[in-house]
Amino acid sequence: MRCRYRETVYRCGDYLEAHIYPVYRSATSRRKKSKPTPETQQRLNEKRAEGKFIRILNANFGSEDLKVELTYSPEHLPETDEEAAKELRNILRRVKRYRERYGLTELKYVAVTEKGSRSGRYHHHLVISGGMSVRDLVDLWGKGIVGTDVLQLNESGLADLGVYMMKQVRSAPFKRKWTGSKNLIHPAPKQRDGRFSKRQVRELAKDTDDRTEFDKLYPGYRYAQAKVVYSDVNGGWYIYARYYKEEAEFLRRRKRSSRPRSCDGRTSP
């Protein structure tokens, strides 16, 4: 069985994901493929869904946008999944109309609905376009408590937030784990074969803390982190690496916040 390594790259705003993995071409005889167990397949599906969700977050949202949590007061609690979904649609419509009325940019959002495993209480986690105050959202919601904060990005963008949001709904009964606006950017993969030899991939996989070689791979980007998986079945290495642009927004914000301030509180030029 012949092996070559494939590179799949996603460009997501200020961030880049690179997947490097083996693909195999059988010779003359074909062996029957072994199927993963249902548990293994479920974990694989969850990781794929999580990865896609993180890429969409990184491609569409930045530090001016908001993460929002909507909870219900006792008198407004939905009793069914359908009622909770309807309440979510209603608040999103009100937010969209508000933004149109006040000349804000078109609403982008992603949302997940969590149902407490013990209490059965519904609440919603959202990421939405910025430009709105907490007071605005409280008035538009009117069903309970609103928790909100600006997004905080780091070398991996919004990966931590994406993992958290998907974890909240992993065991939820909803068919769709998350919903999003139609205007979201969905990063498309770009693939190529032959850039990496098996030896090169093995060397990269040896030490993901050594950024020297990783930094050379994608000009204009800096290496953030990588996860490596080795398969005992096929002897192949699987590398999942994340990068950020050298002039990423979160770096520019760090530089501005680190400038010395004068005694009157203004940032020095």
Dump pLDDT digits (tens) for 86-130.
999 999 999 999 999 999 999 999 999 998 877 789 999 999 999
Residue 178 in any domain: the answer is no
Note the pTM of the prediction, 2 decimals. 0.87
146: domain CATH number is 3.30.70
Query: Residue 198: which domain range?
Result: 2-29+190-253
Residue 34 in any domain: the answer is no
Residue 79 in any domain: the answer is yes
Residue 136 in any domain: the answer is yes
Nearest to 7 by CA among 241, 245, 243: 241
* Spatial separation of the C-alpha atoms in residues 214 and 58, rounded to whole Å: 21
Asked if 86 and 135 sit in the same domain, the reply is yes
Residue 55 in any domain: the answer is no
pLDDT of residue 28: 44
Which value, in Å, is the radius of gyration of the alpha carbons in the chain? 22
Residues of the chain with confidence (pLDDT) below 70: 1, 26-37, 40, 171-175, 258-269
pLDDT of residue 191: 97
* Spatial separation of the C-alpha atoms in residues 265 and 204, rounded to whole Å: 46
Contacts of 236 (CB under 8 A, 6+ apart): 3, 21, 22, 230
Asked if 73 and 125 sit in the same domain, the reply is yes
Residue 208 in any domain: the answer is yes
Asked if 79 and 139 sit in the same domain, the reply is yes
Into how many domains does the chain fold? 2
Asked if 144 and 200 sit in the same domain, the reply is no
Residue 132 in any domain: the answer is yes
Asked if 139 and 80 sit in the same domain, the reply is yes
* Spatial separation of the C-alpha atoms in residues 8 and 25, rounded to whole Å: 18
Q: Which of 150, 174, 202 is the last residue of a domain?
A: 150
Residue 108 in any domain: the answer is yes
Q: Which of 124, 150, 176 is the last residue of a domain?
A: 150
Q: Which of 119, 150, 181 is the last residue of a domain?
A: 150
